[in-house]
Every structure is written in structure tokens, then in C-alpha cells.
Amino acid sequence: METPKKVVLAYSGGLDTSVIIRWLMENYGCEIIAFSADVGQQEDMEEVRKKALATGASKVHIYDLKEEFLREYCFSALKAQALYEGKYPLGTALNRPIISKYLVEIAKEEGADAIAHGATGKGNDQVRFEVSVMALDPNLKCLAPVREWEFKSREEEIEYAQKHHIPVPVTKDKPYSIDLNLWSISIECGVLEDPWAEPPEDAYIITKSPQEAPREPLYLEIGFEKGTPVSLNGEPLKPAALMTRLNEAGGEYGVGRIDMVENRLVGIKSREIYEAPGATILYTAHRELEHLCLERETFRIKEYLSVKYAEMVYYGYWFSPLREALDAFVNKTQERVTGTVRLKLYKGQCIPAGRRSPHSLYDYNLATYEAADAFEHKAGEGFCKIWGLPLGVVAKKK
């Protein structure tokens, strides 16, 4: 590979990406432009900017991507009801393609010939960054210093940082690796690497334990328009404001803790925990509205495709023809998914309490067992005969 001259780095401000700035300058002699996205990780982005410059970056780009991230990426996954292996709402996986998109954009703007990221060689994130970049600009080189450098431990990295006057995070060594955004928080490492060990309370960041949650339930009403959540208790809210409010409410009631052993793309099984109070509330509400508004076969095929959609996101195939085609299908199905869902949060649970929609397919006269019943009962006889016919043929043959 030709030595890169100008590199755009996905910079978080943490130890790894800080050391990467200096390491790339030393080992490749290249210029580093840092890029950080605000996706709701609650960090002082001005501090991040200062730190990147102090560490050696020639320039820093900081973008607030909260609304775009939620609207274009997270809410698409929501409409698809995509949960990886039935549980993980994909916060980290959805975040990588949008970061990659801006890495590529900045590289074009700045005339850079490579991008760099801080992901390791055994995780999913390297794949998501590099496959996204490949899909957007196959001529850009991808550098993953953590895959090639000489440091064998965090201590060695800290030593290198100190030698080069890189500000090392003052917080005492957190035992977990955390990736945080408004959609979900991914937490791994430390004691969590034992799949038998219950996650200690200190592993969770924004959710109360269900035991500590209030004794009285909290009722919420989420409004949807064409599958997109648009309001809370009747108040119209933009995506970031909505997520902030739902994360707070859900967190207070212990909703959205997820503990799983997942299959990584690179073949490893990994125990991770997630916190996604807001996303859990939205998935529950959205699904409930689909139950009301989608006719049976569309609902069914959507269920199958949600598994594939989640895989495409998890596997780094956001910028792919199939994901786009799936979105086209999903958006078509969402045309009538408009209405309101009432939910009850109680001791870690998010329970649907009611749903209504101008497009509701629920027909009281067909459903009722009361006097208003308009269903043609006698038609049931012929229906059973014909529906059972193939099985009757089999039985006679035996």
C-alpha cells in the first residue's frame, strides 16, 4: 500500500484514538484531520476539539449528527422492527455507517487519501467502517492502527501517551468498554466477559434497576406518522428531544436493559449488555401499532424481513442495494402506520395498554361476541372443509 499522506480519523477523544493520531504521524508521517460526531454521547465537543488539536491533528471537524442519525438510520431500523438476534437494537451498528459517510465526505473536501478508525481486529466495527467506505468510495484507503500497532496492553498505550504528552483521560480506569449514543448504549469487557456472571449494577449507566424503580406505573402515549414516532403525550417532538425524554423516563422505570451473548460477524461469541430504554419503548409501541394497522400477510412477511434487515445493519451492509430495497418495502408498509399507542412502564417492563389509529383494521362488529356480531358464522363450515382438504386427502391415502 502506498503510504497515505493525509488521513481523516474517526476521533472519539478517548485513549485509543488519541494515541492513533500520534502513532500515525510517527509511523506514516501523514497529516491527520480529526472528525467527531455528536450523536448524543453527552461529551463536551469543544473539549474533544481542543484535545485533538493538542494531540497533533492539523484540523478538526465536529458535526452534530443527532437528528440525522436518529431520523435516517435509527428510525429506519425501528420501522423495520430490526433487532439483531431478537434483542439488540443496533445502536453501535447504526452509528458506524453515518460516521463513515462523513469520513468519506471530509476526505473528498480535504483531498485526503485515507481514513482511519480505532476499531480492533476482532470486532464488528472495523467491518462496518471499512465496508461502508468501500461502498462509498472504493479508492480511499482504510487504516486501522489498533490492528497493527505494537502495544500489547492499555498500560503500554498509556506509557506511549505520556511519553508524547497526549492527555490521558483522568477518570480512573473504567472496567468496561462503552459506546454511547441516543439510540442505545453498548457495554462490554471486565466481569461481563463471564456469561454466567450477572452484570453488576455499576455496569449500567442510564437505567435504574427494576427493583429501585418507582412503585407506581408511568403511562406514556407515543404518536406515530407513517411508522415514524413524532410525539410524546400529544406534544410534537423532534427525534433527539423525543429520545432524550424517552431515555429518561424509561431509565427511571428500569426499562431497556438487555443482556445477551451474541454472534459477532468475525465468528466470536461475545457477552455484551445494552441499555436502550427509549428504543425499547419505541419498538414496543411501533409493533403494537403495526398489529392494529397492517393486514395479516404484510405483517407476516415484515416479520421475516426484520431478521434480514437487522443482519444487514449488523454486518456492515448499510450502504447496500438490499438494505435500500428493504427500506423501500418497509416504507411502503408504513403508509398507514399512523396513530397513537399508550404504554405502561412498570418495574423494568414496557407494557402496551392501548392503541388507536385512523387506519385501524380492527372491526368491532367482526370481532365482538356481543349482539352486534356481524360475522357470518355459517361460512365457517365451508371454510374448515376446504382449508382441511389437503390433510384429509393425505389421511385417506394412509
58 binds ligand ARG (CB under 6 A): no
> Per the residue annotation, which of 96, 257, 271, 355 is the catalytic one?
96
Find out whether 286 and 266 touch, Cβ atoms under 8 Å.
Answer: no
User: How many angstroms separate the CA atoms of 118 and 89, rounded?
Assistant: 22
Active site residue 16: yes
275 binds ligand ARG (CB under 6 A): no
User: How many angstroms separate the CA atoms of 297 and 1, rounded?
Assistant: 51
Residue 63 pairs in a beta bridge with 37
DSSP 217-278: -EEEEEEEETTEEEEETTEE--HHHHHHHHHHHHHHTT--EEEEEEE-TTS-EEEEEEE-HH
273 binds ligand ARG (CB under 6 A): no
CB of 128 to ligand ARG, least distance (A): 8
One character per residue 194-223, x = contact with ligand ARG (rule: CB under 6 A): ------------------------------
Residue 90, C-alpha cell as written in the block: 443496533
260 binds ligand ARG (CB under 6 A): no
Residue 180 pairs in a beta bridge with 185
Among 62, 178, 292, 307, binds ligand ARG (CB under 6 A): 178
> Per the residue annotation, which of 100, 125, 186, 323 is the catalytic one?
125
User: How many angstroms separate the CA atoms of 93 and 123, rounded?
Assistant: 11
Query: Residue written as cell 450523536?
Result: 39
12 binds ligand ARG (CB under 6 A): no
- Range 83-122, binding ligand ARG (CB under 6 A): 92-93
Active site residue 125: yes
Q: What is the DSSP letter of 33?
A: E
Q: Using the rule CB under 6 A, give the single segment among 69-77, 175-183, 216-224, 288-296 that binds ligand ARG.
A: 175-183
Among 12, 55, 81, 124, binds ligand ARG (CB under 6 A): 124
Active site residue 363: no
Which amino acid would we find at residue 72? E
Active site residue 202: no
188 binds ligand ARG (CB under 6 A): yes
Q: Catalogue the active-site residues.
A: 16, 96, 125, 177
Interface with ligand ARG (CB under 6 A): 92-93, 124-125, 177-179, 186, 188, 272
